[in-house]
Chain A
Amino acid sequence: MVAGNGLLRIFWPSDAPRNKNHGTIIGWRNSPSDVFVITILQDVEPRKVEGALRVGTLFRDSPHPIRQMYHLCGTSSMHVLGTVNPTVHSSAFDPGHLLAFTEASRSIPAIFCPKSCNINVQVIIFDRPSPHRMQYMSLSPISLSLGDKSLGSNVASYSLGGHELEEEEERAEKAKLVEKLKLHTVIKHSLSQKEHLLPTILAQINCSSEIAALLSKNAYVLGTRQKRSLSVSEKVVESATTLRDYVIAVVWHVITVWVYPLLTRGFVIGLICHRMVAEVILRVLEWRLRPDSAALKDISATAQQVDIRLQQFCYWPIQYLTLRKRKDDWESVTDKHPDYIRFYNSLWLVANDVIIGIALGSYIIDNAPWVAWQINTVVNGWTVEGLRDMILWLTDWPGGLKLNTELASFLGDLFIWVIDLWKECVSSLQPLLPHVIYFIGFSSFAGATMPISMFSDLLSLLTVHIYCFYTASARIFHWQLTIILSLFHLFRGKKHNVLRNRIDSCDYDLDQLLLGTILFTLLFFLLPTVAVFYLTFTSARMAIIFLKAALDTSLACLNHFPLFALMLRVKDPRRLPGGIFFELQDTPSVFPHFSDPKDTSPTSYVMLKSVPLSLRAMFDQYFQLGHRIRNHYLSPSVILLLVTGQFLPPIHRKSLYSLQYSMLPAQRASVLEAWQRLTEQSPPITNGFAKMPNGMTVHRVRRG
């Protein structure tokens, strides 16, 4: 029983009937002082309902075992909780049988509870999510990515610079602080049973709509209704419908027994053949020379794109079968809903990709000579001729800057020889370019991502020479800088102690000092010349890196944009729960139904609503991607690396584009497993239509 000064918590659906009719409240009783109202059956006696609940007549013709529902809701039985608008008014309060009063003009029920009981009443009114439309409530935001691989560890294992390590350290430090914070709590409140119940209650909310529908469908059992024989016209209608039903049943039988199995078997065999081919290609793409060396898909964007597509094709049948399993259970089971969103999101993205790809491909094929000519101009004009002109300009006092002519012309000649060699190579490949363009054009019928990734690979191939120049000039620049630094120490009469890793003072001889100083001066005056070359190649390299990053980002958008989720957010925000929130309602001070209108316990009315997923959470992975790119290319340590001429490693594809794999499982199912899953005699295939009580078949409507 409710203890003195206790709390009576009532969950009340917002769509419960509001008229003045007499009714019986049915629901779960989680504890004597914590009740959950499922539905109100009007104009029936509580005693009859109690009996029907015990016998189970109210759960007749349930589409799935009612036990599962009990299990979901974490209780063992349903109860009559009380009466709405009772005809006989009792003045004593009984928590086992509540008395509520509703009125059409008021959205909230009045609960009878006199002040003398010393009980606080908390009425929580919730909007029932409709399981048929796949709405549900959840404490934690729905996850749009597949959570079987942690992104954090991925980053750590491919960390390149010091800043990632620093971040890791910070995280560890914070974890320690959190541990310490636990010691600060002086009094530990042991949680009461009511406080643990919140997840169960959310499950009950999610289930309530379906149970309420079942109960109200069976409510006719309770009423006293005379059986009346059918009239002549009704009999005619009935026989006509049965005849139609009979014809449909025969046709349906032929289709299900003869045609359908044949088709499915052929389809499954086709899928498995495709799966085997995909397995071979995936193995090739994943093959590594040594365990630590890069696989093909880590180097090339095209290979990675093919890998993603094939993995998606491998995952879809499994995902679809999982979704089909949903129909074997109550619709209120919500754990498959994120899978549903993910599956249709990836289907939609691929379809989108193909549509854009067809448009792009037909354009490229129609204008192949022009596109080839354009690419040729860019490649030849900018990366070969432009670079050559730039080097020539640098050797000739650029912008009035008096560089060292001899060194500049030496370096310039060196680079120009290599450029000439490269130019010969490129020009011998030039006749092939239109064919390459045709190939790219045709490949784009497999999706716009293919030409983009191929273009990205082509770009890295055609700018290999710039990468080489960058490496060479960076090496020279770095050497010179190091020498200048150590000579500067000599100039000050100090030297770098390698053993202790510090600067010690040192007594140099006069000739050592003299020679060192002369060399220092020489190198110092030659530094601008080398720096100018280094700057040129570094900026070219950075431009290429940013171009590739832009291409890869567009790939990520085409492969992973949460299109379906965005559409759902607009269409039906309750399908994307991002948490719950409570809204305190105004409490009426007077309840006119009670014998003593003023005599009522303190009652609070709270609305429970679902918060839709925020846009920020939807694009969370893009924010992570942006953060990683910023960390890798715009952090101070990277700028220091650039200034001192040390080699800047390109960001690892895997750590950058883990985003694209976030909708795929870490371990794909093997061919054998896929075969077993596809051929197992799953009931949903033969039982796609749920049998309804009166022999009618009801089509399950696909929601989208």
Chain B
Amino acid sequence: MLTMRPHLTTLRPSPTTVSFTVSTASRRETLASQFLHHFLLGLRIVFGLTTLAILLAKSFEHFKYLPHFLSHEIEKAPWSHIGPLSFASFYFVFRRFHTEESLLTLRSLGIQTSTLSNSYLLPSNTRFIPTSQIRDILIHEAFRGFEVRYYLAVVVEGEGEVVVVFPNLLPGRAIVEEVWRSARECLYEPKG
């Protein structure tokens, strides 16, 4: 429910600037999934605020404003329990459950791959490759476990390894082919 098969979203404000995003986030087309999304968002907020309140109450030794059953428990619990628990709580509150990877193609500038980190707090991991360093963009196949996966790769001038686009999701061949076609079309100026 939370995540789904990787799907491609293309943003094309002009033919020379295209952004491809492959994401496993739910598209929230049905009412149920929309409800679930908002419910989870609310849950996150409630959890985060509760943890914050507990931490504040514990550090200032001020339990008046907490509900009665909670304040009693927290007063007794030592820091060695509360610390890791609140850490875990914050981890899940800020945890991103879907993966999102994108490729931004800018004609005459270059291409940029980026992967969202799995926490809402950390910045995404991006890599920009100027056009002058791109030797080629190609689709290749690789064995991964017992299957063959097609992946989009950028061969970078003077580097020992190719840069794999969408390295974590490795979307299927249909998506990869589409991205490859439009990325090449976008990146290089037409002949003539």
Q: Please report A residues at the B interface, Cβ cutoff 8 Å.
A: 5, 7, 9, 34, 120-122, 124, 139, 174-175, 178, 181-182, 184-185, 189, 191-192, 194-196, 198, 579-582, 584, 587, 601-606, 611
Contact = CB atoms under 8 A, between A and B. Distances in A.
B112 interface: yes
B13 A7 contact: no
Nearest to A175: B160
Given A7-B189, A184-B136, A192 B108 contact: yes
A582 B16 contact: no
Nearest to A33: B108
The 9 closest A-B pairs by CB, nearest first: A602-B14, A604-B17, A604-B13, A587-B13, A195-B131, A194-B108, A604-B14, A581-B126, A120-B14
Interface string B152-192: 00010001100000000000000000000000000011100
A181 B155 CA distance: 9
Contact of A195 (B108, B126, B160, B190): B108
Contacts of A139: 128, 130
B130 A584 contact: no
B19 A191 contact: no
Contacts, number: 82
B61 to A, nearest CB: 31
B130 A122 contact: no
Contacts of A579: 127-128
Nearest to B130: A198
A120 B15 contact: yes
A581 B104 CA distance: 10
Contacts of B104: 582, 584
B136 A582 contact: no
Of the candidates A5, A182, A584, the one having the most CB atoms from chain B within 10 angstroms of its own CB is A584
A457 B94 CA distance: 49
A445 to B, nearest CB: 40
A7 B128 contact: no
B59 interface: no
Nearest to A9: B108
Interface of B: 11, 13-17, 19, 104, 106-110, 112, 114, 126-128, 130-132, 135-136, 138, 155, 159-160, 188-190
A191 B132 contact: yes
A191 B13 CA distance: 24
Contacts of B131: 191, 195, 198
Contacts of B16: 7, 120, 122, 602, 604
A195 B132 contact: yes
A121 B17 CA distance: 9
A602 B136 contact: no
Given A579-B128, A603-B13, A189 B106 contact: no
Contact of B132 (A120, A196, A601, A603): A196
Contacts of B128: 139, 579-582
12 contacts: A9-B108, A120-B14, A120-B16, A124-B109, A175-B160, A195-B131, A579-B127, A581-B114, A581-B126, A584-B17, A584-B19, A587-B13
Contacts of B136: 184-185
A5 B190 contact: yes
Given A120-B14, A579-B128, A581-B114, A178 B160 contact: yes
A137 to B, nearest CB: 11
Contacts of A182: 135
A423 B108 CA distance: 76
Given A9-B108, A198-B110, 6 more contacts: A7-B189, A122-B16, A122-B107, A139-B128, A175-B160, A198-B132
A174 B160 contact: yes
Contacts of B109: 124, 195, 198, 582
Nearest to B111: A582
A579 B13 CA distance: 25
Given A139-B130, A181-B155, A582 B106 contact: yes
Contact of A606 (B17, B114, B159, B160): B17
Contacts of B110: 198
Nearest to A121: B14
Nearest to B189: A192
